[in-house]
Copies of this chain bind each other. A is one copy, B any other.
Amino acid sequence: MEMELWYTEKQTPALGLSLKVKETLYYKRSAFQEIAVLDTVQCGRMLVLDGMVQTTVNDEFFYHEMIAHVPMRTHAAPRSVLVIGGGDGGVVREISRYPGVEKITLVEIDAGVVEAARLFLPEISCALDDARLEIIYRDGGEYIAAHQDAFDVVIVDSTEPVAIAEGLFGLPFYQGVFQSLKEGGVLVAQTESPLYNRDLLRASYRRISAVFPRAFLYLCPVPTYPSGLWSFTLATKLYSPLEPAGDYLPAGLRYYSPEMHRSAFALPPFVRELLELEPGLEHQKILSEK
Contacts and interface: CB of A to CB of B under 8 A. Distances in A.
Interface stretch (A24-32, A97-105, A258-266): A258-266
B16 A59 contact: no
Interface stretch (A80-88, A133-141, A221-229, A232-240): A221-229
A14 interface: yes
Measured as residues with beta carbon below 8 angstroms from the partner, the interface class of chain A is: 35 or more
A255 B270 contact: yes
B266 A260 contact: yes
B20 A18 contact: no
Contact of A223 (B14, B40, B227): B227
Contacts of A286: none
A254 B269 contact: yes
A288 interface: no
Interface in A1-57: 6, 8, 12-20, 40-43
Contact of A282 (B61, B228, B259): B259
B256 A268 contact: yes
A250 B182 CA distance: 45
19 contacts: A12-B42, A14-B40, A14-B42, A15-B17, A15-B42, A16-B17, A16-B19, A17-B17, A18-B18, A59-B195, A221-B221, A223-B229, A253-B269, A256-B268, A259-B266, A259-B267, A259-B282, A262-B266, A263-B266
Interface of A: 6, 8, 12-20, 40-43, 59, 61, 195, 221-223, 227-229, 253-257, 259-260, 262-264, 266-270, 282
